[in-house]
A and B are shown apart, each in its own frame.
Chain A
């Protein structure tokens, strides 16, 4: 019988630790498919964040390093400078990347550090039980904004791709989501482009993937995808914010 669908080789055959309905699984698959298709598993090192994806060092088949909270881009910088012939990527959530790790993220981009960041934005701290994230939306109810995020008190969400697109070192900054088949395919294309840019030494690449957190949003998986479409996508428009190849065309 012909095999028409199988697990990517770059994902090890171990159970995920993610909640049902969370989109981390899809995003892991897209990263792993990319690694398979580019044939780079043997010379790729991934950096795991702190947060829901902390244990993805058990999932990806390439070599993995687990970083302190927010420091993944600095760890990745050390790796890339030490073994520049390898592909180095980080996989980080919004609390990790856009709060505690803001400096590491911005300066990796500013240096044009030739690494790839997969940034999973679900507008909440998932692992610790649903606190306000730097990307939580205005009026969003979380454990630490029980009356809704009051922007006059807790400030405003950060649009990471827009911010990083202003930096000369950024080669690719693109926001995608994985709420339907079309968007999953687009997300895959963006992730593959980001890795390809790194291989071509174009500089810093980041793909932000708008993601769901059914558990902490208090919604079922289907409602979560709808909430993402209705609330996150308008605040965080999908699209390419910077692509050095587009600019030079």
Chain B
């Protein structure tokens, strides 16, 4: 058993990135992701890495594009309004088949919104991160430990699939402290990147990192190729956690911070004889619909709980496809629902009120 250390979520994300071999971090200040950049600013100079504060989120994501094009593991982090600014760069990164890891420590929106925790960027992360036909992989941690573990996976899969990967966190997870086990995994084998624009050393033809294809046929065939890759990812990379789902009549579907509240609500409901369970998506794209599929036959109702007006509920409905009722409960604007509020919904659905 390894000794555990107490860490803040944002710091765990940063430390995990460094452990994953990321030596290039480009940031721009925004609440509530502050500690992540501060940690990088402190650590990177000590390990011969780069922490650079850009002039904007736009510049930061384009610096990530440059460092990634050169073949290096690169990362940026921000919070909701800043992610909107990074949308352009993320689309170019996807269109150039570049790996990158982007952290969103969500806060309330739209506009300047607020600085309290939120999950209102689900659509942005999973459906419309930028213009064009593309996806990024999206991981949603729910504990500080998981923040550490998923960052490593994010970097590995970004390299493996040559695509941007997002860690979708929120202000609650970013700010809270929990004990974590720092697993000293073997450093990943540096993956060969023969496509990188890092100087051809007069040994090969020049490499071009580009997202422009003026011939529609060429662009369509490239995108179709990318979608074959996406299909593969949908088959192999779905991740979710289940809690008391085997005999559940009502299954809550919730990720990140709202899944923690929902888990407590499941325990409270069970004490009252309501057979509740929880599916907690860990990947938001690909959406873990196979985990929902498993329980369609025996469960009576699904309840999606979010810190938004209802965004992931769309994907739950797609997975359920009309076969069972899908209910929704959410708070937004930076409000975290209480376990009692969720319990009350379970009572309503279970016919206990």
A residues whose Cβ falls under 8 Å from a Cβ of B:
12, 41-45, 47-48, 54-55, 57-58, 60-68, 71, 74-83, 86, 103-104, 106-107
Contacts and interface: CB of A to CB of B under 8 A. Distances in A.
Given A74-B59, A78-B26, 10 more contacts: A42-B200, A47-B66, A67-B66, A71-B58, A75-B69, A78-B62, A81-B50, A103-B58, A107-B55, A107-B59
Contact of B65 (A41, A54, A75): A75
Given A61-B206, A79-B197, A107-B55, A54 B212 contact: yes
Contact of A45 (B62, B65, B199, B210): B199
A107 to B, nearest CB: 4
Contacts of B281: none
Interface in B55-111: 55-56, 58-60, 62-72, 74, 88-89, 92, 96
Nearest to A81: B50
Interface string B26-70: 100000000000000000000000101011101110111111111
B59 A66 contact: no
Contacts of B191: none
17 contacts: A42-B201, A45-B199, A57-B208, A63-B199, A65-B208, A66-B208, A66-B210, A68-B62, A68-B88, A74-B54, A74-B59, A74-B62, A77-B63, A78-B24, A78-B64, A78-B67, A107-B59
Contacts of A61: 206
Interface in B197-240: 197-203, 206-212
Contact of B70 (A58, A67, A78): A78
Contacts of B201: 42-43
Given A65-B66, A68-B89, A79-B67, A86 B50 contact: no
Contacts of B63: 74-75, 77-78, 81
A103 B89 contact: no
Interface residues of B, number: 41
Interface of B: 24, 26, 50, 52, 54-56, 58-60, 62-72, 74, 88-89, 92, 96, 196-203, 206-212
Given A43-B201, A71-B62, A71-B89, A66 B209 contact: yes
Contacts of A83: 70-72, 198-199
A54 B214 CA distance: 11
A78 B208 contact: no
Given A45-B197, A57-B208, A103-B55, A82 B50 contact: yes
B197 A63 contact: yes
Nearest to A75: B66
Nearest to B89: A68
A81 B67 contact: yes
A78 B68 contact: yes
A47 B194 CA distance: 18
A71 to B, nearest CB: 4
A204 to B, nearest CB: 14
Nearest to A76: B66
Contacts of A106: 55
- Residue of B72, B199, B202 most packed against chain A (CB within 10 A): B199
B52 A74 contact: no
A53 to B, nearest CB: 12
Contact of B199 (A44, A67, A103): A44
B203 A82 contact: no
A246 B197 CA distance: 34
A103 B56 contact: yes
A103 B67 contact: no
Contact of B209 (A64, A68, A82, A103): A64
Contacts of A68: 62, 65, 88-89, 92
A12 B200 CA distance: 14
Contacts of B96: 66
Contacts of A42: 199-203
Nearest to A57: B208
Contacts of B203: 42
